[in-house]
A and B are shown apart, each in its own frame.
Chain A
């Protein structure tokens, strides 16, 4: 069996979720980002290695579809109402014409409101088919799906991508969060992105927040959506159920329903 076919074998990809927190008021759950882990005991346990392999094989659309489908199933088991983000390659949106209708159909079948969904665009190779990509994004926006641009500031997630994709969320790459306190240039880039977000009606999400100091530094600069090991590591549903952020979100929801 080839490595690629192993990825499509039942149970070989495990969906995990990492909380994105809002620090507006108290720290609370803003949403969950669905991530994927490859087969245990293989190099593909590292998502970076697995997705590089997928890109080199040119099968991003097939694997994106599989990961999203598995994540939706797992999310349903979590029984929490929150924003849910999926990663998708720009190539999938641009080259797989059936992706958007199939994706919206999947949400409908699972009764997940499209307005609670964010698609995070990841891209590692340019050029993509701009016209097709923009048309797919327009269809998603019309259905109330939010768009995020992943890893902003690194690789191909650059200013051109911001202009082309007009994202609702700008996900600041962890590279700029790390050592921010001691690095003038990193702080300047964060400030620049916060200003850009304010002018384009989007929100900045800082990735890779690893401690209190980074959290406070980001908050003081106006970044109030944060994600990283400081709050929670990516975890499967079985572990996430007992995470305080999820428990808190569930109890708040129950409170709202009672009221």
Chain B
């Protein structure tokens, strides 16, 4: 494991993250950083890939870009809605470069736990992940 201030202690029971982004460099950077921090990390590039994964893998937390290459530019919201049909426990952080308070309200109403404007420093994202994983989720 690489040195990382946010490294989680026990790798075997490390929280499982799914990172969803259509930009390969971002996916690589996040995956590399959080794997180095001891998390178990999976990556998805498309909405349907992420949906197929969350249907079968019990992730602790999902970090998803709001806008993926696709149809209407709000795939992150679709993903949260899909997830909440079957899973209340997984924490969700939505990332966006096009945030607004209305969009944030919609995201939270759909079941997102956190709505984060990009760009965000990896250190700050790590803090947000740790914060959410430290709390039990109370219903949707």
Contact = CB atoms under 8 A, between A and B. Distances in A.
Interface in A12-53: 43, 46, 48-50, 52-53
Interface residues of B, number: 13
Contacts of A52: 51-52, 55-56
Contacts of A53: 48-49, 51-52
A43 B45 CA distance: 12
B60 interface: no
Contacts of B52: 43, 49-50, 52-53, 56
A43 B55 CA distance: 12
B46 interface: yes
Q: Chain A interface: which size bin?
A: 10 to 19
A41 to B, nearest CB: 12
A57 B53 contact: no
A163 interface: no
Contacts of A201: none
A3 interface: yes
Residue among A48, A50, A56 with most chain B CB within 10 A: A56
A46 B42 CA distance: 14
A49 B48 CA distance: 10
Contacts of A43: 42, 44, 49, 52-53
A50 B46 CA distance: 13
Interface string A47-85: 011101100110000000000000000000000000000
B48 A57 contact: yes
Nearest to B43: A43
B50 to A, nearest CB: 9
Residue among B44, B45, B52 with most chain A CB within 10 A: B52
Interface of B: 42, 44-49, 51-53, 55-57
26 contacts: A2-B46, A3-B45, A3-B46, A3-B49, A43-B42, A43-B49, A43-B52, A43-B53, A46-B56, A48-B56, A49-B52, A49-B55, A49-B56, A50-B52, A52-B51, A52-B52, A52-B55, A52-B56, A53-B48, A53-B51, A53-B52, A56-B47, A56-B48, A56-B51, A56-B52, A57-B48
Interface of A: 2-3, 43, 46, 48-50, 52-53, 56-57
Closest 10 CB pairs between A and B?
A: A52-B52, A56-B48, A53-B52, A49-B52, A48-B56, A57-B48, A53-B48, A52-B55, A49-B56, A56-B51
